Structure 1
Amino acid sequence: MRAPRSRGSQLYLLQLVVVAVGLVLVAVGPWRVGVVAMGLAFIVGALARSVVPIDHTGMLRVRGKAFDVVWMTTLGVALVILPILIPNQPG
């Protein structure tokens, strides 16, 4: 298996790995940490999408630059805020 050549594809692969780790954390117990990790991965992905040149975006590019940045930032912020807003449950 060959590593992705473009910087954007490498960052996208890193983002996928962090989201997968976050999903594992959600499944095994510390769900708040997992959800925050996924949210931070999307925020970093949005930042990467905004600074990586267009010819190096690779799989990081889905639609237009503005759409990608706004969507990933919104999703990331929502995932970071979610565990803060949900109160601890007894038991």
Structure 2
Amino acid sequence: MSHLRAVPDPPDEGEGVPIADPATAEEAPTPVPGPPAADSWEPRRYPSTIGGAFYLLVLGIVFVGIGISALGDWREGVRWIGMALLLAAGVRLVLRRQDAGMLAVRHRLVDVGMLAVTGAALILLAGSIPEPPVL
């Protein structure tokens, strides 16, 4: 594939010095590496960090909680979701940023605080909302 570049118009009479052609400069542009060869590339089939595995575990527990909420007792389902968020907060607190995978979104204390507060709030609200009166 040939490289296309814009060539400046020649200067009119009386104009200053023409613009230097960047292709003739001393330093040649460094080549950009292309994608790996098709036969050497294989898609990843597993999480690349331990935090990615915990993220999938937390996501699975949240889906269980949603299923319990949809099919049965909503309070129990919300408790499952709250516990999943507390688990995510604990894992994020322990793991380094490089190992935390998708659990690492912001600074460690911000991630842990938001996950822990949200998880605890869900558990407390599920237990404190009164049952509606039976008519």
1 CA distance for matches of 2:49 and 2:86?
20
Answering whether residue 112 of structure 2 is matched by residue 69 of structure 1, we say: yes
Task: Confirm or deny that 1:47 pairs with 2:90.
Answer: yes
Shift of 1:48: 0.3
For structure 2, the residue ranges without an aligned partner over 5 or more in a row are: 1-43
Partner of 1:31: 74
Give how far 1:29 is off. 1.6
Gaps of 5+ in 1: none
Where has structure 1 moved over 2 Å in runs of 4 or more? none
Counterparts of 2:98 and 2:105 in 1: how far apart (Å)?
13
Match of 1:84 among 127, 131, 135: 127
Aligned length: 91
How much identity, in percent, do the aligned residues show? 38
Larger Rg belongs to: 2
More relative contact order in 1 or in 2 (CA 8 Å, sep 6+)?
Answer: 1
User: RMSD value over aligned CA atoms?
Assistant: 1.2
Q: Supply the AA of the counterpart residue of 1:21.
A: V
TM-score (norm 2): 0.64
Provide the secondary structure at the position in 2 that maps to 1:57.
Answer: helix
